[in-house]
C-alpha cells in the first residue's frame, strides 16, 4: 500500500485499527512513534546493485490504556513527515514489536489496516543456480487425458 492510499483510507475512518496477520488486532492504545524514510542500497547474490525506498510506520504500545490515535491526528503526522522528510508516494511498511521487531507490508480492507507478513527471497535466482519450481501434480491425475493414456494394443509400451 502506498502513502497516498493510506491517507485516502484515513480520511474515511472514524478510528484507526491494525490487524496482525494471524487475525488479532494491535491494542487500540498504540502509538505511532516513528514515520521514516527508509532507503536501502544493496547488492544481491548475483552481483546486481539494487535500491529500495519505503516509508516506515513504527507502532508501539505503552501503558496509557486510554490513548487512542485519531485518523486526523495520524494524517497530521503523515503530512508533517511528508514535508520534513520529502516523502514520495511509495510503499508503506509497518514495524511492530512481537517477540522481536516484525516488519510487515500494509493493506486496507475497507474498515481497518491489515499487516501482511513479508518473506525473504532470492532476487537473482537465474545467477545462483536455483531451479525453477516444478508444478506438483497428484499421481492419480497423471495419464487421465487422451494423449498420455496408454491402452492395450495402442503401441505406447
Secondary structure of the chain in the HEC alphabet? CEHHHHHHHHCCCCCCCEECCCCCECCCCEEEEEEEEEEEEEECCCCCEEEEEEEEEEEEECCCCCCCCCHHHHHHHHHHHHHHHCCCCCEEEEEEECCCEEEEEEEECCCCEEEEECCCCCCCHHHHCCCCCCCCCCHHHCCCCCCCCCCCCCCCC
Domains in the chain: boundaries = 3-119
Taking only the tens of pLDDT, the chain with its 157 residues reads 999 999 999 999 999 999 999 999 999 999 999 999 999 999 998 899 999 999 999 999 989 999 999 999 999 999 999 999 999 999 999 999 988 899 999 999 999 999 999 999 888 888 877 777 777 777 766 665 555 566 666 666 6
CA distance 13 to 117: 24
Amino acid at each position: 500500500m502506498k502513502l497516498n492510499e493510506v491517507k485516502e483510507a484515513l480520511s474515511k475512518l472514524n478510528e484507526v485499527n491494525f490487524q496482525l496477520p494471524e487475525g488479532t488486532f494491535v491494542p487500540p492504545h498504540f502509538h505511532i512513534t516513528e514515520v521514516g524514510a527508509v532507503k536501502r542500497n544493496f547488492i544481491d547474490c548475483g552481483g546486481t546493485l539494487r535500491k529500495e525506498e519505503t516509508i516506515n510506520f513504527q507502532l508501539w504500545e505503552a501503558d496509557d490504556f486510554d490513548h487512542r490515535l485519531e485518523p486526523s491526528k495520524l494524517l497530521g503526522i503523515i503530512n508533517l513527515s511528508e514535508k520534513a522528510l520529502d516523502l514520495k508516494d511509495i510503499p508503506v511498511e509497518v514495524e511492530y514489536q512481537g517477540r522481536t521487531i516484525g516488519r510487515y507490508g500494509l493493506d486496507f480492507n475497507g474498515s481497518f489496516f491489515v499487516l501482511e507478513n513479508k518473506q525473504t527471497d532470492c532476487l537473482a535466482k537465474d545467477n545462483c543456480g536455483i531451479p525453477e519450481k516444478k508444478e506438483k501434480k497428484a499421481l492419480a491425475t497423471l495419464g487421465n487425458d487422451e494423449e498420455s493414456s496408454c491402452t492395450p494394443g495402442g503401441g505406447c509400451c
